């Protein structure tokens, strides 16, 4: 197997609030290989976004703190870098796109200006060359008449166009890794399909790796190669996409999938997961999912299960994984 | 047929908002809802789908006169809601209720859950004092909350539980019609399923009729008997849910259905061949969908299609139904 582009080892990120310690991410391990799309999927508060922000060291300190772990990017630990060196990584080697393009684009600069900024900063291009590249990028993300649109302000673009502009900006320096945090959640379903297709296309052309953070299993199933399911700050199951959708081995993964109405079946009651996501300041003992789990036995309350290998690529954090699903 | 009895009939409902142009006395209308007509039978659930800005929420609010429609008729319980004066409308309110999308913004943070759910009972002089408290307990249990939750405040609850409070408020007066506007969109997937189950259970237990507004086609398909598709303020297709998914006839519906992400990685969709977004106000005549339609022909630019029945109550507004 090739060496991974990024190797995350026992990442633990916590927030120290007035009400107590939020254990947002707890001992998370995963790898991303060059050219692959890894999806972190889970519900709100599961730690998927904090994981993404931790990779770029964008966690606000305080109240947040990366307690421990290693983020080996091409063998180099990002957590050991000086802030100045880290700035060279952000937007250049690793870049990020966010859910709401309107709030993450600067409203008082044209999109051209914002794309050119990264190019001038990281690639040492002069203004003219940067503008040429910016137009090229806008064309690449299929924004019509890019030479005109480059001088548009974010509010002059539709939601789908804005997200394309964000993608153009994130990809302008040809990063090796793109972190996409809910990139299509704010978009209508037809526009979502277009943006997903675009992401997949460009990813293939540029050969970059993508870490896709989403709550939407539909989006995952459309473009991911590998999936890590998160719950209460932990990865509870990970594996190739076919395994996660076809032969899942964790009751939470199964519950998530069964919560979504099927188009093919006649309507009946959904197999909802009972209860709610636990409070991150007051997590249950043992397996964090046990209070909602239909397979729960006494042992589940005692000790947090490790990630059991189902096979060499597929892992489940459930002591009853053999019986599950 | 007995079940043919309509509870709600909406005819030619329009709601225009006006935008004041700078340096001009003209007021430019934004046709949020532009002449929609449909009926809902007693006990039936009609799903209203469309993308953001298509007018589905405005339509839902205009039907209950939470906003005043520009014109049209809404026939409910032998009368036109739009003709009622304030007092008559107030008296009709217990029979028609609304569930809001955002369970965080639609509950008054200063009121206890018991007050929120019991307010209608008191306002409409249905129950007071101990009687009211008993009724509230009963309603809370019906939506899966504890009677003891009545003394707590909304911020003490999670999103899913807050939506249960919103549902409790809506059913507290034994309504016949409930307009539910994206009731699960703000919730996590596992909680969505719980709330959908609850809404379906309540429908069966209480004989409710729903107008279910959502952008999520999977959810609409799951809960609805019939589905109406809106595009830029107009109805473009309406049919029985199974029928609509089996043979979508309007090009917009076809694209919408194709764009739903599959839950099977071996069946990845190729994405929809939809043309770029455009500004609807530029369009003076013809079919509203024509600028983005992959099958657009000359006639589509000239003439607006009518919503016609293509058999078995399958209505389509397209000149070239395939």
Domains: count for chain B: 1
Mutate to test the interface with B, among A102, A214, A221 (most CBs of B within 10 A): A221
Q: Which of A191, A192, A256 lies at the smallest CB-CB distance from B190?
A: A256
Mutate to test the interface with A, among B189, B250, B280 (most CBs of A within 10 A): B189
Tell me if B273 is assigned to some domain: no
**How big is chain B by its Cα radius of gyration, in Å?**
21
Per-residue confidence (pLDDT) for residue B90, from 0 to 100: 92
Interface of B with A in 51-90 (CB under 8 A): 51-52
The torsion angles phi and psi of B255, rounded to 5 degrees, stand at -70, -40
Tell me if B74 is assigned to some domain: yes
Stated pTM of the model = 0.89
Q: What is the pLDDT along chain A (325 residues), one digit of tens a residue?
A: 568 999 999 999 999 998 889 999 999 999 999 999 999 999 988 999 999 999 999 999 889 999 999 999 998 999 999 999 998 898 889 999 988 777 788 899 999 999 998 889 888 889 999 999 999 999 888 888 899 999 999 988 888 888 889 889 888 888 999 999 998 888 888 888 888 888 888 898 888 999 999 999 999 999 999 999 999 999 999 999 999 999 999 999 999 999 999 888 766 788 889 988 888 888 999 999 999 999 999 999 999 999 999 999 999 999 999 988 7
Q: Which of A224, A260, A276 lies at the smallest CB-CB distance from B158?
A: A276
Tell me if B232 is assigned to some domain: yes
Residue B39 belongs to domain spanning: 6-106+176-246
Mean pLDDT of B236-255: 94
Tell me the three-class secondary structure of chain A, residue by residue: CCCCCEEEEEEEEEEEECCEEEEEEEEEEEEECCCCEEEEECCCCCCHHHHHHHHCCCCCCCCEEEEEEEEEECCEEHHHCCHHHHHHHECCCEEEECCCHHHHCCCCCCHHHHHHHHHHHHHCCCHHHHHHHHHHHHHHCCCCCHHHHCCCCHHHCCHHHHHHHHHHHHHCCCCCEEEEECCCCCCCHHHHHHHHHHHHHHHHHHCCEEEEEECCHHHHHHHCCEEEEEECCEEEEEEEHHHHHHCCCCHHHHHHHHCCCCCCCCCCCCCCCCCCCCCCCCCCCCCCCHHHCCCCCHHHHHCCCCCEECCCCCEECCCCCCCCC
**Helices A127-140 and A111-123, axial angle in degrees (round to 10):** 120
CB contact under 8 A, B190 and A273: yes
Tell me if B153 is assigned to some domain: no
Mutate to test the interface with A, among B185, B220, B222 (most CBs of A within 10 A): B222
In this structure, are residues B59 and B33 in contact, taking their beta carbons and an 8 Å threshold?
Answer: yes
Tell me if B282 is assigned to some domain: no
Per-residue confidence (pLDDT) for residue A77, from 0 to 100: 94
Nearest CA in chain B to A158: B277
Tell me if B311 is assigned to some domain: no
Nearest-CA distance B225 → chain A (Å) = 10
Give the pLDDT band (50/70/90) at residue B158.
confident
Tell me the three-class secondary structure of B48-110, residue by residue: EECCCCCCHHHHHHHHCCCCCCCEEEEEECCEEHHHCCHHHHHHHHHHEEEECCCCCCCCCCC
Nearest-CA distance B200 → chain A (Å) = 8
Tell me if B139 is assigned to some domain: no
Tell me if B56 is assigned to some domain: yes
Per-residue confidence (pLDDT) for residue B21, from 0 to 100: 72
CATH of the domain at B185: 3.40.50.300
């Amino acid at each position: 197997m090739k060496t991974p582009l990024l190797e995350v080892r026992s990442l633990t990120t916590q927030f120290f609030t007035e009400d107590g310690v939020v254990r947002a991410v707890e001992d998370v391990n995963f790898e991303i290989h060059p050219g692959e799309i890894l999806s972190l999927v889970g519900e709100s508060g599961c730690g998927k976004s904090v994981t993404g922000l931790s990779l770029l060291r964008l966690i606000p300190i305080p109240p947040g703190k990366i307690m421990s772990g290693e983020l080996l990017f091409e063998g180099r630990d990002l957590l050991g870098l000086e802030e100045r060196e880290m700035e060279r990584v952000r937007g250049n080697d690793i870049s990020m796109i966010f859910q709401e393009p309107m709030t993450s684009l600067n409203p008082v600069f044209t999109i051209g200006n914002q794309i050119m900024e990264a190019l001038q900063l990281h690639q040492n291009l002069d203004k003219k060359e940067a503008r040429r590249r910016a137009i090229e990028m806008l064309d690449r993300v299929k924004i019509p008449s890019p030479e005109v649109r480059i001088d548009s302000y974010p509010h002059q673009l539709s939601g789908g166009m804005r997200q394309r502009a964000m993608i153009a900006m994130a990809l302008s320096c040809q990063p090796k890794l793109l972190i996409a945090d809910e990139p299509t959640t704010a978009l209508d379903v037809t526009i979502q399909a277009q943006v997903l297709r675009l992401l997949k296309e460009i990813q293939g052309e540029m050969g970059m790796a993508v870490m896709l953070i989403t709550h939407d299993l539909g989006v995952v199933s459309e473009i991911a190669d590998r999936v890590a399911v998160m719950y209460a700050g932990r990865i509870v199951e990970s594996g190739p996409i076919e395994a996660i959708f076809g032969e899942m081995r964790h009751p939470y993964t199964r519950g998530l999938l069964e919560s979504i109405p099927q188009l093919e079946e006649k309507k009946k009651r959904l197999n909802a997961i009972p209860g709610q996501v636990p409070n991150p300041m007051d997590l249950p003992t043992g397996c964090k999912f046990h209070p909602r789990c239909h397979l729960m036995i006494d042992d589940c309350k005692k000790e947090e299960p490790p990630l059991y290998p189902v096979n060499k690529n597929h892992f489940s954090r459930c002591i009853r994984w053999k019986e599950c699903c | 047929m007995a079940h043919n009895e309509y509870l709600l009939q909406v005819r030619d409902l329009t709601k225009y908002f006006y935008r004041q142009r700078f340096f001009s006395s003209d007021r430019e209308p934004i046709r949020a809802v532009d002449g929609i007509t449909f009926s809902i039978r007693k006990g039936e659930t009609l799903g209203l789908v469309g993308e953001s800005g298509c007018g589905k929420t405005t339509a839902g609010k205009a039907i209950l006169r939470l906003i005043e429609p520009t014109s049209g008729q809404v026939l409910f319980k032998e009368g036109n809601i739009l003709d009622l004066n304030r007092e008559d409308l107030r008296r009709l309110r217990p029979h028609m209720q609304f569930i809001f999308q955002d369970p965080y913004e639609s509950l008054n943070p200063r009121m206890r859950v018991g007050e929120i759910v019991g307010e209608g009972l008191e306002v409409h002089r249905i129950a007071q004092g101990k009687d009211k408290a008993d009724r509230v307990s009963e309603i809370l249990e019906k939506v899966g909350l504890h009677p003891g939750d009545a003394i707590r405040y909304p911020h003490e609850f999670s999103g899913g539980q807050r939506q249960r409070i919103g549902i409790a408020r809506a059913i507290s007066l034994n309504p016949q019609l409930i307009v539910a506007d994206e009731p699960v969109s703000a919730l996590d997937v596992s909680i969505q399923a719980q709330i959908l189950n609850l809404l379906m259970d309540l429908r069966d237990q209480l004989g409710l009729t729903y107008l279910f507004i959502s952008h999520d086609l999977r959810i609409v398909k799951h809960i609805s008997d019939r589905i109406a598709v809106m595009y830029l303020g107009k109805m473009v297709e309406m049919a029985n849910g199974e029928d609509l998914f089996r043979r979508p006839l309007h090009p917009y519906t076809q694209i919408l259905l194709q764009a739903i992400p599959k839950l099977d990685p071996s069946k990845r969709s190729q994405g929809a061949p939809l043309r770029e977004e455009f500004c609807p106000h530029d369009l003076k005549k013809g079919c509203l969908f024509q600028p983005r339609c992959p099958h657009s022909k000359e006639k589509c630019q000239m003439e607006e299609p009518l919503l016609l029945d293509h058999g078995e109550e399958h209505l389509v507004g397209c000149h070239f139904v395939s």
